[in-house]
A and B are shown apart, each in its own frame.
Chain A
């Protein structure tokens, strides 16, 4: 039996989760369009399909908890509080971008909202997370560091080093693996000796669990509970969220390695319409109210594109800025 939504969160909060997921999807699909038009260049990794993870998890964290992620992180940043228009401008490489248009899609960063970075190096964020958690404990802050990463990342040395450190030094790190079952074209079972990723933590004595990453409420509950545990105990915890990306690895990837049947199966579990259905069935909202939310999200994304288009390029002098003090 699924828990009734109202037992989990108040109506307003439940609707906010819907809005955040819908906004994330709209944002990503719009990015795809802008990439096709040539406004966004380089390697663009979209989050479509995985929204329940970022949205559910962020809702389960405190606003002053740190978040670190990889390069599929637009939604992570937006859900945490980055303005969509500044994220879009960043992807366009415009001066008004979240990082002055100098970082692009993979390197979003905004300490003002405790979003401590997207990392293009797979596995780069693990030791940094350990360090952030150490620093917050050292300063006596009540802060959890949430470290997001993919299934491919767990085979980097930094993963193992960091799990060990986090447990050995008793650091408040919440590891969240977004298992979308592929690292580019390689399935988990072709890259990991133990394909059940959350079970890998036993070597480091870190408790772990697996959650349905297509269910925003399940993710929310798991992360909230885990974050409380981490906060109370000061010890690390590990969540594996099973999810799926609806697009290729990046816009350059046709994704031929996945079967149409597999794709269809996961599509049928799309976290957004599934959640809408629940909201309606449990009488939390009406179709009209959802339409209004959706229209608002679409408008936000359209505005973001216009803002990005109309923003200036960075000045030449920016090449020399932010290297040293």
Chain B
């Protein structure tokens, strides 16, 4: 089995699904002839042609809006937004239309659209190139939001997203693009949407993370006996797996690289409070970025959650 990085794994998923299903088309700025700024769509145009691998004008709302129309009328578009910080002008098309076509047409239309975008900090780029604004999208009913944590889940989630009848926002942790190599099988395997993965099992504490934070969490928790939940689908998230683990360990720490206020961590903590509060032996803690725009350069060290901060939170709940 080939060891692939995440860029290659996503590319493989797109390639296999495009070969299987001619309704799948890829579109975005420089995704075709140039193969995408991060090379995720490299080679697809040569293989499947310009009709199916489409270079668009520089117009995010146009990309997502047109893809929504294509999806509603029989295609399975995969729209790329070059960086998550560029998606905001497309938020209108996604939230006002893509997310609501099924409801608005009372189920007569669906919107099998995948929007892919690199997200997250730690690539030494300035603000708008390091955004983690997943919570904004998790707040929109009708869209599913997923984030792989490595090449294996990247492929499985992409295939599942492509088969899903509803819009899926597929977040690619930019920092991990080339950081991790894993065995990625050829051929079909689906990472079920709405299902979290137990990345590690333990007894005393549950740590919940996703995307690029998972790698950091796994390193930080080595000396602890912790359940580590890789959320994978951020919306709708797998409350069942989270609650089952928290009921077992009695403690929960949520780690995300997005800012704290109204972050997804708040929703998870509230769910734990609602459904497992009597099992808790300590307050639920969040380790997150501070409530500021992503800073540049050296200051990033004071922004992204560190292994020390994660361990401090673990110690705090364990000693509570």
Contacts and interface: CB of A to CB of B under 8 A. Distances in A.
Which of B33, B56, B58 has the largest number of chain A CB atoms within 10 A? B58
B interface secondary structure, majority: loop
Interface string B121-152: 00111111100000000000000000000000
Contacts of A156: 58-60, 89
Given A120-B126, A153-B58, A157-B61, A186 B29 contact: yes
B299 A316 contact: yes
A106 B126 contact: yes
Interface size of B as a range: 20 to 34
B126 A155 contact: no
B302 interface: yes
Which of B127, B290, B299 has the largest number of chain A CB atoms within 10 A? B299
A320 B292 CA distance: 7
A14 to B, nearest CB: 37
A49 interface: no
A99 B68 CA distance: 39
Contacts of B293: 323
A185 B33 contact: yes
Contact of B127 (A107, A152, A191, A257): A107
Interface in A84-108: 92-93, 101-107
Interface in B44-59: 55-59
Given A104-B126, A314-B298, A319-B292, A157 B303 contact: no
Interface in A27-69: 41-43
Contacts of A103: 126-127, 296
A184 B292 contact: no
A122 B128 CA distance: 11
B290 A319 contact: yes
Interface string B9-38: 000000000000000000001100110010
Interface string A142-154: 0000000000110
Interface size of A as a range: 35 or more
Which of A93, A123, A183, A192 has the largest number of chain B CB atoms within 10 A? A93
B295 interface: yes
B292 A323 contact: yes
B86 interface: yes
B89 A42 contact: no
B202 interface: no
Contacts of A42: 123-126, 129, 296
A190 interface: yes
Contacts of A152: 57-58
B85 interface: yes
Given A319-B302, A320-B290, A184 B129 contact: no
A323 B127 CA distance: 14
A318 interface: yes
Contacts of B297: 41, 92-93, 101, 104, 313
Interface string A245-265: 000000011000100000000
A325 interface: no
A155 B129 contact: no
A93 B302 contact: no
Contact of A122 (B58, B127, B292): B58
Contacts of B60: 156
Interface in A138-191: 152-153, 155-158, 183-186, 190-191
Interface in A102-141: 102-107, 120-123
Contacts of A105: 126
A314 B297 CA distance: 10
A121 B85 contact: yes
Contacts of A158: 89
Contacts of A186: 29-30, 33-34, 55, 57-58
Interface string B60-88: 11100000000000000000000001100
A323 B295 CA distance: 11
B58 A183 contact: yes
A169 to B, nearest CB: 22
Contacts of A192: 57
A104 B29 contact: no
Contact of B296 (A102, A157, A320): A102
Contacts of B296: 42, 93, 101-104
A56 B171 CA distance: 43
Interface of A: 41-43, 92-93, 101-107, 120-123, 152-153, 155-158, 183-186, 190-192, 252-253, 257, 313-314, 316, 318-320, 323
Interface of B: 29-30, 33-34, 37, 55-62, 85-86, 89, 123-129, 290-293, 295-299, 302-303
21 contacts: A41-B297, A43-B125, A103-B126, A104-B126, A104-B297, A107-B127, A120-B85, A120-B128, A121-B86, A153-B58, A184-B30, A191-B55, A191-B56, A257-B34, A313-B297, A313-B298, A314-B298, A319-B290, A319-B302, A319-B303, A323-B291
